[in-house]
């Protein structure tokens, strides 16, 4: 039951109903007894008084001397409206009223209580003393009208008690809601605070002293808890941000260390390989100078020399990745000029199934080597179009200027952003994490060396630029290179050259 009436206004209403259920029956029966007794006593007094008056008339007058006069007197009892039985008994002879109903209830003796006998007739007898002997006047009066009065009074009592009960319940509910309203307000405020609306105050107007004091203390507690919660939330956010930044830095540091290690190894191997290829190339050249040009051996030597040049080209790319590129001459470079040159060269190589779109025209200068910038852009574009060779698509190159502040992968500040976007097959997360590793390639053996994006990473690092890659399988890939904007306060550098001899288009790697 306590679980059903757990609301304050329901509980108060229930208490009022219980009290009324216990007291109203007692009140009803007590009022009913009073009403019944008052109507019964009034009826009995009236009929007995009426009977006594008739007896006095019979004793004083000469009504009994004439049967017709006696019968008229008895008829007057019936005609009075309440009379149902009237007769006079003298010397064993009875004279009844001629107006009595044929089926009238016979006289069975005097009634001493109202509504006794179950016949709805109240019988009384009055003895009249005459000189000739005693005469008995027997009268019967209908109790129906009085019983109807009693029934109507009973109904009126029920209606009055019902109205009293309804009014008292309504008043109890109203009073209970007035008492419970402050508690309901406190409950709603606490619910909003629990749902995150910590600025919801618990202050409200109430004339009840205890409720006002409770609200004041709860508001003080809320203020303290909210302040503590805000401080804890701030500390948690700071720790989470610091932890995320630490993991990002650790990941970048491990990746950089891995690339440096592999780069050092690749550089050493490249130097040794270059030392091996140098005498091969020299001796082959000397032998070609000695052998007549039309000899079959001369053609073989020319093939050896061409293969040696291709090997040296591969070695140069390895050295580009592994050497200290910071040692290269630095100058201001405008990326728009370099991008236009790369795309002009690329349009001659790209199949017609691939559309090239150039967007943006930012002319903000950066610091770097024009040749290396050219190679970086060429490698990214080559990697992009080769990812779309089979299915075709759109290659979009965009230049813009952005201010980075919320990206953990990029240092905050102003940057010129080079974006290379393709609609190829994209990459999964595992491939995306390894695309800058040297000699890593997703292509078939002989289709790529795996150094294209490694060289891009090395060039970008030497220019203090950051590279971000966003790609999902089936959604293409987007490479963004963030070049720091050149500022006048930087170290003196040389002027940029606009006539840049574009190197041979390199091979792509992953995407």
Domain endpoint, select from 166, 196, 228: 166
In this structure, is residue 429 part of a structural domain?
Answer: yes
Torsion of CA 399, 401, 405, 406, to 10 degrees: -40
Q: How far apart are CA 458 and CA 255, in angstroms?
A: 12
In this structure, is residue 281 part of a structural domain?
Answer: no
| Number of domains making up the chain | 2
Q: How far apart are CA 126 and CA 136, in angstroms?
A: 6
The alpha-helical segments, DSSP class H, found in 196-291 are 209-290
Q: Give the Å distances, CA to CA, from 41 to 51, 281, 339.
A: 15, 148, 122
CATH of the domain at 112: 3.30.1140.32
In this structure, is residue 242 part of a structural domain?
Answer: no
Q: Give the Å distances, CA to CA, from 76 to 50, 84, 123.
A: 12, 11, 17
Residues 102-135: b if buried by 16+ CB within 10 A, e if exposed: eebeebeeebeebbeeeebbbbbbbebeeeeeeb
Domain endpoint, select from 166, 184, 203: 166
In this structure, is residue 217 part of a structural domain?
Answer: no
Print the domain residue range for 339: 327-511
The pLDDT of residue 256 is 66
Torsion of CA 157, 160, 161, 164, to 10 degrees: -170
In this structure, is residue 454 part of a structural domain?
Answer: yes
Q: How far apart are CA 384 and CA 357, in angstroms?
A: 13
In this structure, is residue 182 part of a structural domain?
Answer: no
CATH of the domain at 392: 3.30.565.10
pLDDT tens series, the chain, 511 aa = 545 566 666 777 788 888 888 888 888 888 889 988 898 889 889 888 888 888 887 777 666 667 788 788 888 888 877 788 888 888 778 888 888 877 778 888 888 888 887 778 888 888 887 766 678 888 888 888 888 888 998 899 889 988 988 898 888 888 877 777 777 777 777 777 777 666 666 666 666 777 777 777 777 777 777 777 778 888 898 888 888 878 877 776 776 666 666 666 666 676 677 777 788 888 888 888 888 888 888 888 888 888 887 777 666 666 665 554 444 556 888 888 888 888 888 887 788 888 999 988 777 788 888 888 888 888 889 888 888 888 888 999 999 988 876 666 778 788 899 999 998 888 888 887 778 776 666 665 445 555 678 788 888 888 888 888 888 888 889 999 999 887 765 554 544 434 334 444 444 444 4
In this structure, is residue 304 part of a structural domain?
Answer: no
Domain endpoint, select from 166, 181, 212: 166
The alpha-helical segments, DSSP class H, found in 61-143 are 67-79
In this structure, is residue 487 part of a structural domain?
Answer: yes
For 371-398, what is each residue's pLDDT tens digit?
Answer: 888 888 888 898 888 888 888 889 999 9
Q: Are 456 and 384 in contact (CB under 8 A)?
A: no
- pTM, two decimals, is 0.40
Q: How far apart are CA 139 and CA 89, in angstroms?
A: 11
The pLDDT of residue 479 is 92
The pLDDT of residue 481 is 92
């Amino acid at each position: 039951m306590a679980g059903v009436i757990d609301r304050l206004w329901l509980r108060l209403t229930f208490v009022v109903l219980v009290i009324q259920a216990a007291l109203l029956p007692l009140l009803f029966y007590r009022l009913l007894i009073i009403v019944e007794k008052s109507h019964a006593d009034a009826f009995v007094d009236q009929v007995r008084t009426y009977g006594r008056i008739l007896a006095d008339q019979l004793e004083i007058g000469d009504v009994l001397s004439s049967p017709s006069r006696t019968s008229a007197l008895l008829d007057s009892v019936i005609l009075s409206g309440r009379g149902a039985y009237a007769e006079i008994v003298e010397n064993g002879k009875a004279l009844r009223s001629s107006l009595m109903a044929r089926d009238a209830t016979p006289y069975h003796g005097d009634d001493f209580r109202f509504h006794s006998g179950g016949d709805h007739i109240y019988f009384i007898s009055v003895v009249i003393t005459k000189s000739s002997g005693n005469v008995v006047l027997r009268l019967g009066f209908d109790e129906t009208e009085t019983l109807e009065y009693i029934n109507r009074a009973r109904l009126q009592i029920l209606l009055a008690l019902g109205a009293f009960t309804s009014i008292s319940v309504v008043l109890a509910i109203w009073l209970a809601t007035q008492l419970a309203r402050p508690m309901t307000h406190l409950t709603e405020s606490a619910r909003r605070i629990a749902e995150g609306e910590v600025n919801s105050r618990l202050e409200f107007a109430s004339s009840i002293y205890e409720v006002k004091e409770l609200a004041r203390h709860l508001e003080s507690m809320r203020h303290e808890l909210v302040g503590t919660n805000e401080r804890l939330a701030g500390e948690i956010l700071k720790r989470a941000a610091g932890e995320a930044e630490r993991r990002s830095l650790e990941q970048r540091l491990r990746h950089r260390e891995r690339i440096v290690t592999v780069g050092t190894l690749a550089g050493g191997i490249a130097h040794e390989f270059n030392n091996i290829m140098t005498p091969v190339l020299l001796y082959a050249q000397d032998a070609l100078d000695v052998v007549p040009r039309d000899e079959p051996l001369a053609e073989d030597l020319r093939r050896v020399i061409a293969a040696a040049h291709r090997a040296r080209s591969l070695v140069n790319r390895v050295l580009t990745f592994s050497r200290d590129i910071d040692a290269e001459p630095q100058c201001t470079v405008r990326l728009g000029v370099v991008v236009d040159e790369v795309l002009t060269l690329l349009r001659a190589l790209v199949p017609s199934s691939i559309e090239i779109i150039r967007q943006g025209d930012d002319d903000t200068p950066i610091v770097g080597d024009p040749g290396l910038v050219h190679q970086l852009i060429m490698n990214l574009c080559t990697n992009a179009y080769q990812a779309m060779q089979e299915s075709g698509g759109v290659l979009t190159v965009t230049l813009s200027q952005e201010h980075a502040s919320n990206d953990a992968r990029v240092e905050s500040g102003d940057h010129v952003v080079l974006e290379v976007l393709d609609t190829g097959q994209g990459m999964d997360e595992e491939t995306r994490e390894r695309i800058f590793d040297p000699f890593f390639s997703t292509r078939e053996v002989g289709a790529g060396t795996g150094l294209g994006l490694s060289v891009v990473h090395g060039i970008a690092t030497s220019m203090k630029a950051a590279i971000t890659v966003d790609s999902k399988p089936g959604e293409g890939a987007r490479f963004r290179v963030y070049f720091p904007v050149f500022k006048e306060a930087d170290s003196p550098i040389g002027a940029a050259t606009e006539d840049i001899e574009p190197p041979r288009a390199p091979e792509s790697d992953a995407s």
